[in-house]
Every structure is written in C-alpha cells, then in structure tokens.
Amino acid sequence: MKFPLINIHTHKPCAEHALCISNFFPDDFRENNKKHSGFFSAGIHPWYIKDEETLEKQLKLLDEIISHSNCLAIGEAGLDKVTKSDWDLQERAFIEQIKISEKTGKPMIIHCVKAWDEILKLRKQQKPTVAWIIHGFSSSEQMAQQLLDAGCLLSFGKMIMNSDSKAAKVLMNLNSDEFFLETDDEDIGIDQIYKKAAEFRKISVDELKEKINVNFEKVFKTILN
Ligand SMILES: [Zn+2]
C-alpha cells in the first residue's frame, strides 16, 4: 500500500500527492470557507490578537468555520512571549480555543514561543482529551520529554535540515515514532523534510510514511469517520 506524504501544518499550496493541513488565519475564514476543498486548520494565532472586540469577532467566526467537514484541527493557536500582543488576551484566546477543540473533538495545532511552562500548566489545568500537536518544535530534549509526558505530540519542520539544531537532536533521539512533519511557511518541500527525518530515524522514507500515516489515523480517526 502506498502512503501519502503528510504535511501536518502549512501556509503554502499543498504539493501534489501530499496530504496537507493548510492553515487559515481568522481573516482567511470568510473568503476561503466555501471554496476550500482540502483539509485545513483554523485558529487565532497569537500574532493576530489585537483587542477584546476583535478577539470576540474572531472567536465567533472560528466557531462557525470549525464545523466545516474539511476542518481537521484548531490552530495554529498558542502563546508567544516575543510578539507584542497583550499576554492576558493571548491566554484568553488560547483557553477559548481549547474549549472549542474539546467541544468539537478536533485536535489543536500549537504555536509556542518561549512559553513552554505556560503551555504545560494549561495542559494540566484544562485536562484536554484531544491531541495537542506542538508545531515547528525546536527546544531541548528535556522539554520534548516533558511535553510527551504531558500527552502532547511534536511536529518537526525545516529546522531539522540543520543537523546541529535542537530540533534535529530531539528527532534523532526521540524514543517514539509518534511525531509529525511539516513545512509551515518555509520554502521547502515536504519530501525533503521526510528524507532528512528518515535519515535521522535510520529507516526508509516509505517506512517513515507508513509510521506517520498511522499517527495521523490515530489522532484524526474520529474526525475523518
Ligand atoms: Zn505556521
């Protein structure tokens, strides 16, 4: 059986023969809602949180689009300590999106910049039942382990192309095959990321494709059926 390349998070057009979860930001919702035929995720990114009023509108829009059958996940959503967006509003937006994710059973695709402790704390507080996929993971092996212990999944992107990067080290030493791969907004093919990841995992690209398909089935099974 031939398994497709799965790109768990991208902002660019999906490569042929790949299965992608394309990311939508709130402003994309309306224009793309009707015409979108591929799988997508929709969420309020911490970069685009302006004020309370805008957030309310974005949450309403999100609530509408989330029921679309091609919408597989909420996100990207999360916490970012480097962006200028108000921290309290970021937390509120994230918690509201966790609630939507729980209500619909659709997993979260998480953006996290320098806010690992807060993400872990919220995971413990909110006790979500759906999967949280930490996209573009790039932190220490210790942090990777803490996130995995808390029930999160990791997704790796272009960072792994540099073998000395933290992301590459984590992927090389990960004691589990439960992870995803992505291109995010980078100019790189998902096939290149697979090739590198297969090299690090010391398996063939075909074996890697099969493993990631198993992970995908497991996480998105209830939504796809
Ligand atoms: Zn992204």
Give tens-digit pLDDT for 118-153: 999 999 999 999 999 999 999 999 999 999 999 999
Can you tell me which residue has the tokens 């059926």?
225
Give tens-digit pLDDT for 164-193: 999 999 999 999 999 999 999 999 999 999
pLDDT at 16: 85
Do 69 and 34 contact (CB within 8 A), yes or no?
no
Range 7-32 average pLDDT: 86
Residue 133 CA to ligand 1 centre (angstroms): 12
Give tens-digit pLDDT for 208-224: 999 999 999 999 998 88
Does residue 95 register a pLDDT over 80? yes
pLDDT at 152: 96
Backbone angles phi, psi at 184, to 5 degrees: 55, -130
Residue 183 CA to ligand 1 centre (angstroms): 8
pLDDT at 128: 94
25, 41, 175, 201 from 66: Cα distances, Å = 12, 8, 34, 35
* Domains located in the chain, CATH noted: 5-224 (3.20.20.140)
Range 3-26 average pLDDT: 92
And the tokens for 39? 């799988």
Residue 43 CA to ligand 1 centre (angstroms): 11
Do 220 and 72 contact (CB within 8 A), yes or no?
yes
Residue 13 CA to ligand 1 centre (angstroms): 13
Task: Kindly report each contact of residues 50-56 with a partner whose C-beta sits within 8 Å and lies 24 or more positions away, as own/partner.
Answer: 50/85, 51/86, 51/89, 52/89, 55/89, 55/92, 55/93
Residue 61 CA to ligand 1 centre (angstroms): 19
Could you tell me the pLDDT band of residue 203, with boundaries at 50, 70 and 90?
very high
Does residue 33 register a pLDDT over 60? no
pLDDT at 32: 57
Does residue 10 register a pLDDT over 80? yes
Does residue 200 register a pLDDT over 60? yes
pLDDT at 151: 94
pLDDT at 130: 95
Does residue 93 register a pLDDT over 80? yes
pLDDT at 19: 95
pLDDT at 27: 73
pLDDT at 185: 95
Residue 1 CA to ligand 1 centre (angstroms): 30
Residue 23 CA to ligand 1 centre (angstroms): 7
Calculate the average pLDDT of the chain: 93
Comparing C-alpha atoms, which of 120, 22, 25 is closest to residue 79? 120
Torsion over CA: 30, 91, 103, 177 (sign):
positive
Output the 3-class SS for 54-86: HHHHHHHHHHHHCCCCCEEEEEEEEEECCCCCC
